[in-house]
Amino acid sequence: MALVKWDICCQPMKVGSFGLRRLVPQSTSFFMKLAYQIVTKPDTLWVRVLRSKYKMLDVCPLLVNRSNYSYVLRSISNVWDQFRKNLYWSLGNGRSVSFIQDVWIVDLGPLHEHLYSNVVILAHLKVADFVDPDGCWKWSKLRHYFSSEILDYIVVCHAPNDTLGNDTCLWRPNVNGRFSIKAAYKSIVQFDVSHVNAGWKEIWNNALPPRIKHFLWLVMHRRLLTNCKRVRRRLTNEAGCLICGGSQETVLHALRDCWFATEAWMKIILADCVFIFFELDLAEWVSANLRGEFGIGSGGVESRVIFADLCWILWKNSNKYIFQQVIGKVEDMVRSTEYFAVNVCETNLKGSRSRESRAVMARWCSANHGWIKVNMDGATNKNGNWSKAGMYYGTYLGIGLKGLEDLLGGAWLGYSKVIIEIDCMMAVDMIKECLGSTPSMALVKKIKEVS
């Protein structure tokens, strides 16, 4: 018997679900992975066979659509257009990138969307076709195709040449440019996360056992099979509470407002909190208790554990009375809950000590004589354009990926021996693997060639 809709179960955890994935978009993501390998791994055996058999000459064809394809390639062709929309290119020699169809300036998208209305450029022309023998852009042609605003974007891009190597295909939904099934799935399925309830975070991020977390998840969704729910499903004729005789056994009544549950709560909550404790609605009541606002027990983690476990025991007691006509004692339930909370807290304390013992300490070390060390922080603002840098006691300070781009594009302040330390993994990957499509990428490639 399904208590929660499958569509709700497939929502992200932060909006109140399990984060499960729908099968059709997940299957599409796997076919996108195969398409990405066709573009980025042309030397693998199965890609070579497909390209040879079906005459796929371009690195990233505009269309993959033929009736005599195999099942796998037909499935890939069904997602090809959607796959291409999520690609962008880091320019190398410019021979694999279509000038107007492919995305090589991320902020603009495909350049065919920005052409003058009376201009036509053939789709097969590559970016390298718009570079003169001197290695500069053919501005005489480009001025007839685009407005000055578009030319301002092109001018900051390093003109492609053979010394930069091959063009690099990158995956737009992922910040590091690498393809992943997770990023592909998110590009297909869009969720509305504008109304995120903090109560879901309180459920998942705590020390409770999984079975109690799942129970609280059902509570927040109001999906416990109370008598009200059982009447709607024609499982019983009585919608009231069988313990206290109340007219409607709702989730909140079974866990708090029934006289039996009320008596249990009165034994563990503070006297100053009684009024507000019994006045909140269900979602606010659960969230406030999981934050430890009512000081149950000794506060902190133990308070949250006692609340969750007592809710769980009260619900089991209600079911036991309905189906077995047996009801427990309030004192025994409270005592059992307190023992359970102590055990959970001790277990988590031992786990945290074990993790701390494995921690590796790192400290800053000064550079050797004759060298300058560049220390950069990975912080940035929401728009990604916050950059600050300066010289302080012989150490160059920068902030984030934007600061690194400014540093690479600068004059290095006259120093030739430089060590870079940065905690921005995106910037580290950009330097190590030449991933990313930024104006400084060509300079990064040149530096790597020298080193």
Q: Write the DSSP assignment of 257-307 as a string of letters.
A: ISHHHHHHHHTTS-GGGHHHHTTS-HHHHHHHHHTTTT--TTSTHHHHHHH
Token pair of 129 as six digits: 């076709």
Q: Do 205 and 333 sit in the same domain of this protein?
A: yes
- Whether the CB-CB separation of 249 and 227 falls below 8 Å is answered with yes
Amino acid at 202: E
Is 387 a residue whose pLDDT tops 80? Answer: no
Q: Do 379 and 351 sit in the same domain of this protein?
A: no
Evaluate whether residue 365 is within a structural domain.
no
User: What is the DSSP secondary-structure string of 185-229?
Assistant: HHHHS----SS--HHHHHHHSSS--HHHHHHHHHHHTT-S--HHH
Q: Do 314 and 429 sit in the same domain of this protein?
A: no
pLDDT band at 48 (very low <50, low <70, confident <90, very high): very high
Residue 3, burial from CB neighbour count under 10 angstroms (0-12, 13-18, 19+): exposed
Is 383 a residue whose pLDDT tops 50? Answer: no
Evaluate whether residue 121 is within a structural domain.
yes
Q: Do 344 and 216 sit in the same domain of this protein?
A: yes
Is 37 a residue whose pLDDT tops 90? Answer: yes
Render pLDDT for 7-28 as a digit per residue (tens, 0 to 9).
888 888 877 778 889 999 999 9
Structure letter (DSSP) for residue 96: S
Evaluate whether residue 193 is within a structural domain.
no
Render pLDDT for 278-328 as a digit per residue (tens, 0 to 9).
999 998 898 888 888 887 766 556 788 889 899 999 999 888 988 888 888
Give the pLDDT of residue 377: 63
Render pLDDT for 105-126 as a digit per residue (tens, 0 to 9).
988 889 989 999 888 888 889 9
Is 98 a residue whose pLDDT tops 80? Answer: yes
Query: Can you give the residue range of the structural domain that contains 409?
Result: 372-450
pLDDT band at 451 (very low <50, low <70, confident <90, very high): low
Render pLDDT for 391-440 as a digit per residue (tens, 0 to 9).
333 333 334 445 555 555 544 556 667 777 777 776 676 667 666 555 56
What counts of helices (H) and strands (E) characterise the chain? 20, 6
Domain count within the chain: 3
Per-residue pLDDT, averaged over 367-376, amounts to 76
Token pair of 97 as six digits: 């990138």
Per-residue pLDDT, averaged over 330-338, amounts to 87
Q: Do 26 and 59 sit in the same domain of this protein?
A: yes
Mean pLDDT of the chain: 81
Evaluate whether residue 363 is within a structural domain.
no
Q: Do 208 and 312 sit in the same domain of this protein?
A: yes
Evaluate whether residue 366 is within a structural domain.
no
Render pLDDT for 124-148 as a digit per residue (tens, 0 to 9).
899 999 999 988 999 989 999 999 9
CA distance 282 to 296: 18
Is 192 a residue whose pLDDT tops 80? Answer: no
Give the pLDDT of residue 25: 93
Coil, strand or helix: which one is 446? helix
CA distance 29 to 171: 13
Evaluate whether residue 1 is within a structural domain.
no
- pTM, two decimals, is 0.69
Give the pLDDT of residue 251: 93
Evaluate whether residue 367 is within a structural domain.
no
